[in-house]
Structure 1
Amino acid sequence: MINTLKGHIAEVEKFSADTPEAIEAFRIKYLGKKGLLNVFFAEFKNVPNNQKKEFGQTINELKQRATDKVNELKNALHHQTEEKGKFGDLTRPGNPIELGARHPISIVKNQIIDIFSRIGFNVSEGPEIEDDWHNFTALNLPEYHPARDMQDTFFVQTDPDILLRTHTSSVQVRYMENNKPPIRTISPGRVYRNEAISARSHCFFHQVEGLYIDKDVSFADLKQTLQYFTTELFGKSKIRLRPSYFPFTEPSAEVDVYWGLETETDYRMTKGTGWLEIMGCGMVDPNVLKNCGIDPEEYSGFAFGMGIDRIALLLHQISDIRLLSENDIRFLEQFKGAL
């Protein structure tokens, strides 16, 4: 009986196959429920006691050899099929490559940068983790100003003077500290506010803030710049400036663009007025210029700031601001045609 087992071991070693059917037949012959191995295991009880050890070892060897042979032949056949499928027909068309899409935030940001670059504005960037001076003090926000409250700002617990920037005005401060007038720059970037997340607001969002510093800059220059911007981005040329208050500009204003009342959506977005608020602006406060090492007696300037997220919602008719940060492929694929 042991010699019979050894004969099968030799047969297994010599076996070769190049089709899945032949390999499966070989597997069933030895390893199937009614295969030879189960037959030999059933005969174990009839083997003399002095041969049981050798008989058991030989059966296990046959089982291992048969299993290894099946795996070896399957792997060889798999690689052979794979190579043939890969290189067999070089004239067949290739697999389609999925095209990505720009994020709506990037689309709108690039549009804004392009519009202002045409009238001489460059792009400046700065850190998202800021210090107290650049985010608050240099911008005329005193120590006990409400904007410094923990309910509005994310402070770093290990250092009360370090925080996540609440606006990109901090980039403008850094730019003024390191550059002499004339200055004409915009600062796009992500900012953070300690706000409840809802369909209309988020704890982080994106801004573009602009700054122009030179001799004899007036409020009329500011209005004309914003008039140009709204016409280029929205196709709407009618704007109005309402008096407002910002610590770092004086005088300050909110900018509304006349959106119209042609559709139900227009009524909903403008609350039935036809006017839509898009940004804040104003003449740079002399104290801010002085804090940044610029002589307010010689130079003046204007600044403005807008939220990219809100403009993206408006231009692309997106109903929920949370969609912009959820990375849902179904949502992002809608923007494949945009640049």
Structure 2
Amino acid sequence: MNVKKVSSRLLCAAAVSIALTSAGAFALNNDSIKNIDSTSIEMLNARFKQGDYEYVIEALEDVKVKTPKQYNILISALMNIDLDDAEEVADEFVKNYSNDYRAYHTHANVMGAQASNSIFSALGYAKKAKQSLETAVTLAPDEVGVYQALMQFHLMAPSIAGGDMDEAEKLADKIATLDALEGQFAKAKFYLQDDQVDKAVEIYATLAQQNEAKIRANLELGTHYLTDERFQNAFETLSVLLNESVETVTDKESEQWEAYAENKSNLLYGKYRIGLLAVQSGEYTDSGIAALEQYIEEYNTTSIETAHLPSMNWANLRLAELRLNANDVQQAKATLSQINGEEDKRFAKILKGLKKQIKKRA
């Protein structure tokens, strides 16, 4: 078994989004850092959204008794700066909230990221991710999300790392008993990974006819095609989302908020995927530019949680690539100027290459 290949798959296996919301920016003094309430969390989320991870870390790292929300936003910020520090705080989260499934959910996310980042330690981190997800299921046997995360682990992780397709199918069946719609999505994901693509496509086609499911159905199937480098199929599936919209819900306490936030998130992700598709395929450049422009505008104005979505830096990087592909050198340069702060090594490599190309063509 190629350890590097194992490592590259484990982040997807244990990926669990850390939910953050946006609000207006604010300044913390020493006293308020010690007593951060829910309103301040909203404000910290805004700093996170702007990519100001250091600010978030400084505000929260010395808080002695952190709430689960504070742990989540701190860990999410640390994951963009230093995975080892994120791991340390994730361990602390589990220790202090040993009966809260959310702590293990987040812990699994960090372990998955470490597995992806640490070639020679990938299997050890995968084991920790699996253990945390199994604990989360034990603590919250009625939470669909933890079953979905554990199923994703079994689908994506190789057997040497604990993945098991039979267990994944059982989990898909379990999800169906808790939520019929989620059960259909779970079964479709299982079929995709089990090379039964025709069965998956049939399910997604049915889901795409339902108002509450069509955006997500197109996103998931289109993402599969993109990953499989079936670019034409991917474009035909994802491009539908360019003309989709979601009726806005403003009341976060309303019954409609959760469904709205999920739909909006999926729509945004779909638009980013169209841009990524244009970059990777070298085709559909105009559609890719339009999709990323929409993504950036809507990301910056939405009130839904955005930490799980591609950052503004990534969106601007991809948009700059497409503008350069369209021979619009000045717009590509202007787009790169919108990038603030640092991302990972891969981002830095792409950015460096783009700057060189722009300099040559300026």
TM category (shorter chain) comes to: under 0.3
Q: Indicate the structure (1 or 2) with the bigger Cα radius of gyration.
A: 1
Kindly indicate which of the two structures has a greater share of residues assigned to helix: 2
Higher strand share: 1
**TM-score calculated relative to the size of structure 1:** 0.24
How high is the TM-score relative to the length of structure 2?
0.23
